[in-house]
């Protein structure tokens, strides 16, 4: 039952975000914020596919234990593409609200993004191990969580200052995704059922992409 439900869910998710991303790129009409949003959605879907596809194969065949290496490499790639996802989202914010200058803020965002990616590349993460390091799972997610917090604050403030109804809840999608993701990082190895939080986390990302898609659709009308 888990194999059927999870595989179907993941397939729908990947097809949805990649398709919406391609549609945004196609219909962006040269608007940079939607070009970025489209790229962001495609990066999200393609990056997650490196982990979700091997997981689906594992669940439908001999089990997760036989795909430890493939799943670990997939998690590494997904961790990097998720960082790129938020970096692109930062530039969506700059484009949408016409943010000029503020080089210090940009430097902070880039520093957190690069720090996250570098920490992900350390061999101590033991990505291909059946029991990866919990400590390094925490280390690499510190700059990631700070990056998410920065993006949340930016979108929350700007949407309200500009009475931007289309993006009014984008900050909330990020809060939900992190609220579901961090417990999985900390407790999934001890309490496997915590892993079910990845479902609302995934739904939150779909919501994020839908916000961009619906805003573009509304503007193109």
How far apart, in whole angstroms, are the C-alpha atoms of residue 165 and residue 218? 12
Sequence spans of domains, the chain: 2-220
With a pLDDT cut of 70, the percent of the chain lying above it is 100
pLDDT digits (tens, 9 = 90+) for 37-52: 999 999 999 999 999 9
- Asked whether the beta carbons of 144 and 111 are under 8 A apart, the reply is no
pTM recorded for the entire structure: 0.94
Q: In whole angstroms, give the CA distance from residue 52 to residue 144.
A: 21
The third-level CATH classification (topology) of the domain covering 2-220 is Rhopdopsin 7-helix transmembrane proteins (1.20.1070)
Taking each continuous run of H as one helix and of E as one strand, the counts in the chain are 7, 0
Cα 63 from Cα 55, distance rounded (Å): 9
Mean pLDDT of the chain, nearest integer: 94
């Amino acid at each position: 039952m888990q194999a059927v439900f999870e595989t179907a869910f993941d397939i729908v998710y990947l097809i949805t975000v990649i398709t919406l991303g391609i549609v945004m790129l196609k219909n962006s009409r040269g608007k940079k914020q939607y070009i970025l949003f489209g790229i962001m959605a495609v990066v999200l879907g393609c990056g997650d596919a490196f982990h979700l596809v091997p997981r689906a194969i594992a669940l439908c065949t001999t089990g997760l234990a036989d795909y430890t290496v493939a799943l670990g490499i997939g998690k590494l790639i997904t961790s990097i593409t998720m960082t790129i996802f938020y970096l692109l989202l930062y530039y969506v914010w700059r484009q949408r609200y016409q943010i000029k200058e503020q080089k210090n803020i940009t430097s902070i965002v880039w520093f957190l993004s690069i720090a996250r990616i570098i920490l992900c590349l350390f061999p101590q993460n033991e990505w291909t191990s059946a029991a990866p390091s919990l400590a390094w799972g925490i280390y690499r997610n510190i700059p990631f969580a700070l990056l998410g917090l920065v993006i949340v604050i930016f979108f929350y403030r700007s949407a309200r200052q500009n009475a931007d109804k289309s993006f009014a809840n984008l900050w909330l999608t990020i809060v939900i995704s992190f609220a579901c993701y961090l417990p999985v990082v900390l407790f999934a190895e001890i309490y496997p059922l915590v892993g079910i939080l990845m479902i609302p986390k995934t739904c939150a990302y779909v919501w994020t992409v839908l916000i961009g898609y619906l805003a573009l659709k509304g503007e193109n009308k």
